[in-house]
Structure 1
Amino acid sequence: MEPKDLRKLLEERLQSEDRELTYNKKEEKLRIETKCSGKGMSLSLKGLAAKYEERKESLLDEIVHHVEETLKAMNDNQELSGSESNIFPVIRSGSFPSETESGVPLVFDEHTGETRIYYALDLGKSYRLIDKNWLEKEGMTKETLQEVSRFNVRGLSTEMKTDTVAGCTFYFLNTNDGYDASRVLNQSLLEEMASKAKGELAVAIPHQDVLIFADIVNERGYDALAQLTMHFFSNGLVPVTGLPFIYEDGKLEPVFILAKNKPKED
């Protein structure tokens, strides 16, 4: 599907009297704004159009839901003080914007060479990323934000599904609560997974709503991990990174699997 075709489908679903929809043909982006506030969000249609061929209506439903909930979250009535239990870290790619569309810097920390940690106030069905103006307005420090968010993410469920691929055990954490990738910041979870791994523990954060652990005991496992990671990365609505990591000595180190382990011929 071409971006212009996806644009038409989304405009039909998102059109409303209180919204303004504009299309940037050069950048292939659809902008959705609430008229009364002027606040909104932009969708990059090129990447989404490529995913449409595989997911079709389910992708449209997910995009529309994401837009609807994001627009609801864009108001100035939320407060951080008194809502500390609802503040969570969110993992994003290293290329994710460092400021809002209105130019306000977002609060974030570097995580790996591929990822960053942003912070958000959970609103139930959506969340709002925390920017520096909001943080200063509330009189909250970045250190407090880091502390409470890490505490909260440790309290999230770590129930996983397991599968055996190429003789290696893979663990999939996919609760769809918006913070699956964030669980990679739960150090005790990483240590627990490392302690029961028979081989090398690999970790993948392909998109916001999945976290993958892999107990790699042979070279075929690396190839399987690369394929799985790229599959999830290509299909996620909020992709993070297609590059897996090896967890060793308390650190995540990126591993270029395809360059390191080429498939062997039978």
Structure 2
Amino acid sequence: MKMTARKMAALVQEHLDQPSLDFHFDREKDTLRIEDKQLKKGLTLELPKVIAKWEESKEKALDEITYYIREALKAMNEPQALSEKEKSVFPVIRSTSFPEKSNEGVPLVFEEHTAETRIYFALDLGTTYRLIDQQILQREGWTIKRIKETASFNVRSLPTKWKEDQVAGNIFYFLNQNDGYDASRILNDSLLKSFEEKVTGTMAVAVPHQDVLIIADIRNETGYDILAQMTMSFFASGRVPITALSFLYENQELEPIFIMGKNKRS
């Protein structure tokens, strides 16, 4: 039997099984709004993405999704002090289609990154994180400059352990720590420079979803096709997709690569 958005909404509600929550299914947008009745705060699930994960791993996917929902709602219940958790402020990469406001309508703190990506800022809470909005800044007396500098410093402190794969004469490096900030490491300039020094072909970078950073040493035309297919595959399977495009890295700048058919790029 085919899984529909309505059926998935019912499954999520059943798995959460919390009388303190309100659920609203939007059949036009295929979303499920989950709110804490007392706080009047919550989050919205895009059900087609949930269905895609469910089709891959069924109950495991549901357990993972409902776990993150519970943790996110718990974080909303707890006031967070930035000054007490300065080492827990990190940048997170998102697509340019990502909302600019929280579900409560408060503007989120972000800056432009590339034509495909933006940099948002998050307070790490251990098992989840909370995106920083203007209300938090005002309450804590922080400036946007301070948030950026703190997040930039902290992302450089993250571990950088890589897996390497060679395909058709090209080398691909994968960072997948699953700490929520794998894609954020694209902002570690010293890390990218270190790869630039050892790459012998053309250096390309990809952040298809939140939990992976790919760096490629493209040594022949086939490498572009492999990178495009690889990035699209990661993008389709990611819990928080970012972009299916890759980027050339030259002179400390990221330039999107458009690959149109076999071995054609612009």
Paired position in structure 2 for 1:178: 180
**Partners in 1 of 2:258 and 2:94 — Cα distance?**
20
Does structure 2 retain, via aligned residues, the 8 Å contact 1:201–1:247? yes
1:108-147 equivalences under 5 Å are 108-147=110-149
Look up the SS of the partner of 1:128 in the other structure: strand
1:230 aligns with 2:266: no
CA shift at 1:106, angstroms? 0.3
1:214 aligns with 2:216: yes
Look up the SS of the partner of 1:201 in the other structure: strand
1:12-91 equivalences under 5 Å are 12-91=14-93
Sequence identity percentage = 54
**Partners in 1 of 2:235 and 2:219 — Cα distance?**
23
CA shift at 1:190, angstroms? 0.4
Which amino acid is the alignment partner of residue 64 of structure 2? Answer: E
Paired position in structure 2 for 1:6: 8
Does structure 2 retain, via aligned residues, the 8 Å contact 1:15–1:21? no
Does structure 1 retain, via aligned residues, the 8 Å contact 2:94–2:119? yes
Paired position in structure 2 for 1:159: 161
Which amino acid is the alignment partner of residue 160 of structure 1? Answer: W
Look up the SS of the partner of 2:107 in the other structure: coil
**Partners in 2 of 1:180 and 1:196 — Cα distance?**
21
Which TM-score applies when normalising by structure 1? 0.95
**Partners in 1 of 2:219 and 2:76 — Cα distance?**
47
**Partners in 2 of 1:221 and 1:204 — Cα distance?**
13
CA shift at 1:76, angstroms? 4.9
1:99-110 equivalences under 5 Å are 99-110=101-112
Which TM-score applies when normalising by structure 2? 0.95
Paired position in structure 2 for 1:94: 96
Deviations 1:6-45 (A, max 9, x none): 2222121112111111111111111111111111001011
Deviations 1:190-238 (A, max 9, x none): 0011111010111000001110011000111111101110011001111
**Partners in 1 of 2:253 and 2:156 — Cα distance?**
18
Gap regions ≥5 residues in structure 2? none
**Partners in 2 of 1:209 and 1:145 — Cα distance?**
22
Deviations 1:137-157 (A, max 9, x none): 110010000001000000000
**Partners in 2 of 1:35 and 1:145 — Cα distance?**
31
Does structure 1 retain, via aligned residues, the 8 Å contact 2:83–2:140? yes
The answer to which of 26-35 and 180-189 deviates more is 26-35
Which amino acid is the alignment partner of residue 86 of structure 1? Answer: S
User: Which of the numbers 190, 197, 210 marks the counterpart of 2:192?
Assistant: 190
Look up the SS of the partner of 1:117 in the other structure: strand
Segments of 4+ moved more than 4 angstroms: none
Look up the SS of the partner of 2:83 in the other structure: coil
Does structure 2 retain, via aligned residues, the 8 Å contact 1:166–1:220? yes
Does structure 2 retain, via aligned residues, the 8 Å contact 1:226–1:258? no
The answer to which of 161-170 and 47-56 deviates more is 47-56
The answer to which of 21-30 and 115-124 deviates more is 21-30
Deviations 1:85-134 (A, max 9, x none): 11000000000000011111000000000000000111001111000111
CA shift at 1:254, angstroms? 0.2
The answer to which of 60-69 and 184-193 deviates more is 60-69
**Partners in 1 of 2:61 and 2:114 — Cα distance?**
29
**Partners in 1 of 2:4 and 2:159 — Cα distance?**
39
Which amino acid is the alignment partner of residue 20 of structure 2? Answer: D
Gap regions ≥5 residues in structure 1? none
Does structure 1 retain, via aligned residues, the 8 Å contact 2:6–2:25? no
Give the aligned CA root-mean-square deviation in angstroms.
Answer: 1.5
CA shift at 1:54, angstroms? 2.5
CA shift at 1:63, angstroms? 1.3
**Partners in 2 of 1:216 and 1:97 — Cα distance?**
34
**Partners in 2 of 1:82 and 1:189 — Cα distance?**
28
Which amino acid is the alignment partner of residue 69 of structure 1? Answer: E
